[in-house]
Chain A
Amino acid sequence: MIRFLLKGIARDKNRSLIPIIIITIGVALTVLLSGFIYGMMGDMVDQNARFETGHVKIMTRAYARDKDQLPNDLALLGVDTLVRSLHKEFPDMQWAERIRFGGLLDVPDAEGNTRAQGPASGMAVDLLSKNSEEIERLNMKSSLVSGAIPKKSGEALIGDDFAKKLNLKIGDTFTFIGSTMNGSMAFQNFKISGTIRFGSAALDKGSIIVDISDAQLMLDMPNGAGEVLGYFKDGVYDDEKAQKVTEQFNAQYAKNTDEFAPVMQRLKEQNNLAGYLDYVDSFTALFVGIFVFAMSIVLWNTGLLGGLRRYQEFGIRLALGEEKGHIYRSLIYEAIIIGIVGSIAGTLLGLGGCYYLQTHGINIGQYMSNSTMLMPSVIRAKITPYLFYVGFIPGLFAMVFGNMLSGIGIYKRETATLFKELEV
Chain B
Amino acid sequence: MENKNIISIEHVTKRYPVGDGEFTALSDINLQFKKGEFSGLVGPSGSGKTTLLNIMGSLDSPTEGKAIVMGRNVAELSHKESAQLRNLHIGFVFQIYNLLPVYTVFENVEFALLLQNINASRRKKMVMDALEWVGLQDMADKKPSKISGGEGQRVAIARAMVKRPEIVLADEPTANLDAKNAHTIMKTMRQLNKELNTTFLFSTHDEKVMGYLNRMIHLEDGKVRKDEPIEKPQYA
Contacts and interface: CB of A to CB of B under 8 A. Distances in A.
Contacts of B107: 4, 7
A322 B50 contact: no
Nearest to A9: B102
Interface string A318-362: 111111111000000000000000000000000000000000000
Interface in B100-146: 100, 102-103, 107, 110-112, 114-115
Contact of A320 (B80, B86, B171): B86
Interface string A399-414: 0000000000000000
A415 to B, nearest CB: 4
A423 B102 contact: no
Interface stretch (B2-10, B89-97, B187-195, B219-227): B89-97
Given A416-B59, A418-B59, A419-B171, A7 B103 contact: yes
Interface string A1-43: 1001001100110010000000000000000000000000000
B112 A313 contact: no
A12 B100 CA distance: 11
B229 to A, nearest CB: 26
User: Which secondary structure dominates chain A's binding surface?
Assistant: helix
A320 B112 contact: yes
Interface string A129-165: 0000000000000000000000000000000000000
Nearest to A325: B80
Contacts of B50: 419-420
B60 A8 contact: no
B79 A324 contact: yes
A319 B80 CA distance: 12
Nearest to A327: B83
B98 A323 contact: no
Nearest to B95: A423
Contact of B54 (A4, A15, A325, A419): A419
Nearest to A13: B102
B84 A321 contact: yes
A415 B59 contact: yes
A418 B60 CA distance: 10
Which bucket holds chain A's interface residue count? 20 to 34
B75 interface: no
B102 A4 contact: no
Contact of A322 (B88, B92, B115): B115
Given A322-B87, A323-B80, A419 B53 contact: yes
Interface residues of B, number: 33
A423 B171 CA distance: 9
A416 B103 contact: no
A312 to B, nearest CB: 7
A320 B82 contact: no
Contacts of A322: 83, 87, 115
Contacts of B115: 320-322, 326
A121 to B, nearest CB: 70
A423 B94 contact: yes
A82 interface: no
Contacts of A11: 102-103
Contacts of B159: 320
A422 interface: yes
Contacts of B59: 319, 415-416, 418-419
A418 B54 CA distance: 9
A12 B103 CA distance: 9
Contacts of B86: 319-321
A418 B83 CA distance: 13
Interface string B162-185: 000000000110000000000000
A207 B57 CA distance: 89
A290 interface: no
B87 A321 contact: yes
Nearest to B83: A323
A316 interface: yes
Interface in B41-98: 50, 53-54, 57, 59-60, 79-80, 82-88, 90, 92, 94-96, 98
6 contacts: A4-B110, A416-B59, A419-B53, A420-B50, A422-B96, A423-B95
Given A320-B112, A420-B50, 10 more contacts: A7-B107, A313-B100, A320-B111, A320-B115, A321-B83, A321-B87, A321-B115, A322-B83, A325-B80, A423-B172
Interface of A: 1, 4, 7-8, 11-12, 15, 312-313, 315-326, 415-416, 418-420, 422-424
Rank and list the top 5 A-B pairs by shortest CB-CB distance, nearest first. A321-B87, A416-B60, A321-B86, A415-B59, A11-B102
